[in-house]
A = this chain, B = another copy of it.
Amino acid sequence: MPELRRDPITGRWIIINNDSPKGPDFYKSVPSPKKAGVCAFCNGNEKMTPPEIMAYSKHKREKNTPGWDVRVVPNKFPALQIEGDLNRVGIGVFDLMNGVGAHEVIIDTPNHESEIADRDESQIRDMLWAYRDRSLDLRKDKRFKYILIFKNYGFTAGASLDHPHSQLIALPFAPKRVVGEIEGAEKYFGYRERCVYCDMIRQELQEKELTITENKSFLSFTPFVSRFPYETWIIPKEHVSDFPQIQVEGINDLASIFKDTLSRIKKLLNDPAYNYILHSTPLDDLARDDYHWHIEIMPRITRVAGFEWGTGFYINPTPPELAAKTLREAK
């Protein structure tokens, strides 16, 4: 069973893989993109994945058969296991938990070649509805405190399969950076009684220097304190802390700005690898006045030096104002 360990200094939880631990030989060969012969995520190959958790389809179909639009399956190599108790113990200065959680793969589309930038908006909407529906289902399990939705696109971003897919991890704790965001937002709210994200949005809607694009519900922009070149956030203009409260109009506007933004990044930076992560409120408080859900997109175009991990201190060679300007012009 995977193991959750807590750092007594920073409070960070990490997952240790105890079931198939990787020894030195695993790391000795230089990694390279795998070329799959047959893709387990393509239409018609449903038997190659673990049994599906959910799928959308425009017509009636049997489970694990072709004809779906979005399909959700358990991760074949899960970082966490769904069965079991958390069973929290201490070992000297350290805390330990069983690695209980969920790790699912959302197969965005049956089309092997259709990354978000090239996809019909209706397909992007299906993917976003799956994000919402899986979140709402998993949060019924009271062991889970956080649901993390993300995508690794391209080999250097960590993707090990080409077929467009997203991942969902349900965790028995909120991840460190989200906790940090919430603590910071809470402090800001404490003396201003306003959401810091709402203030940032208001400031940007006046100044427009960091805006890439916007529509009725969303703003797409490069944060003033971008850690990475071309880091891009998509954020709802109205205050909402909990992503799954999104409604039809929100999904439609999000699909549209998502496609527009990722198309600009693809065009400007030559189809770079990227990661995105959806930051939503932890499950123990769904209606926070001080927190604001958003999506962070990070193109993987620089080698991040280890000292940036080791310090949390970033040097960004591209001013976000320049990034926004060039992304506005890329169309």
Contact = CB atoms under 8 A, between A and B. Distances in A.
Interface of A: 3, 5-18, 20-24, 26-28, 31, 79, 91-94, 148, 150, 152, 155-158, 167, 171, 175-178, 180-181, 184-185, 188, 196-197, 199-200, 203, 223-227, 229-230, 268-270, 272, 274-277, 279, 296, 298-307, 309-320, 322, 326, 330
Given A157-B305, A303-B156, A317 B12 contact: no
- Identical chains bound together, number: 2
25 contacts: A5-B225, A8-B199, A14-B225, A16-B319, A16-B320, A17-B316, A17-B319, A18-B319, A20-B317, A22-B229, A23-B322, A26-B317, A26-B318, A93-B203, A150-B305, A150-B306, A157-B305, A157-B306, A158-B304, A158-B307, A176-B313, A177-B312, A275-B306, A298-B310, A300-B306
Nearest to A15: B315
A175 to B, nearest CB: 4
A16 to B, nearest CB: 5
B275 A307 contact: yes
Given A7-B225, A185-B9, A318 B21 contact: yes
A270 B306 contact: no
Given A23-B326, A93-B200, A229-B22, A178 B319 contact: no
Contact of A180 (B10, B27, B175): B10
Q: Sort A-B residue pairs by CB-CB distance and give the 9 closest, nearest first.
A: A275-B306, A176-B312, A158-B305, A175-B313, A177-B312, A175-B311, A277-B310, A7-B225, A27-B301
Contacts of A150: 305-307, 310
Nearest to A167: B307
B302 A14 contact: no
- From DSSP, what is the main secondary structure of chain A's interface residues? mixed
A225 B94 contact: yes
Tell me which of A7, A13, A197 has the highest count of chain B C-beta atoms within 10 A of its own C-beta. Answer: A7
B152 A306 contact: yes
A275 to B, nearest CB: 2
A178 B10 CA distance: 9
A210 to B, nearest CB: 11
Contacts of A307: 148, 150, 152, 158, 167, 275, 277
Nearest to A314: B14
Contacts of A309: 227, 275, 298, 304, 309
Contacts of A22: 229, 317-318
B275 A310 contact: yes
Contacts of A158: 303-307
A313 B14 contact: yes
Nearest to A203: B92
Contact of A269 (B15, B24, B178, B296): B24
B311 A177 contact: yes
Contacts of A175: 311-313
Contacts of A313: 12-14, 148, 171, 175-177
A318 B223 CA distance: 35
